[in-house]
Amino acid sequence: MNRNDHSWIDRSYALPVAVMDLKNVLAANLRRLRHERELTQEELAGRAGISSRYVGAVERADVSVSVTVLGQIAEALSVEPSELLKSIR
């Protein structure tokens, strides 16, 4: 089988779409959970140990977060990290 033939198992050519979707899911959940707790971006940032500019970038889906930062944000919101990645459909 030829590596240029996309019928083989590797689906990396589709990865950017999936990553973009996950960033948008995280952004929406973060914004919703932060608002439910009546926290400003600055307050959440302080609790999570990250900058408020970074919180804003995550809420706009401008950046991808590391697993470490995902955990820090989840802890600051008192939720499991998986709650931030659940699709709202």
Q: What is the mean pLDDT of residues 24-28?
A: 96
Q: Is residue 58 part of a domain?
A: yes
Coil/strand/helix, residue 4: coil
Q: Provide the domain limits for residue 16.
A: 12-85
The mean pLDDT value for 49-78 works out to 98
CB atoms within 10 A of CB 60: 12
Contact 3, 12 (CB under 8 A): no
Q: What sign results for the dihedral spanned by CA atoms 35, 72, 75, 79?
A: positive
The 3-state DSSP class for residue 11 equals: coil
Does residue 1 lie within any of the structural domains?
no
Q: Which of 61, 75, 69 is nearest to 27 (CA)?
A: 61
Task: Give the number of domains in the chain.
Answer: 1
Average pLDDT of span 51-65: 97
Q: What is the pLDDT of residue 87?
A: 87
Q: pTM score, two decimals?
A: 0.77
What is the percent of the chain where pLDDT is above 90? 73
The CATH number covering residue 32 comes to 1.10.260.40
Can you tell me the distance from the alpha carbon of 52 to that of 46, in angstroms, rounded to the nearest whole number?
8
Q: How far apart are CA 59 and CA 57, in angstroms?
A: 5
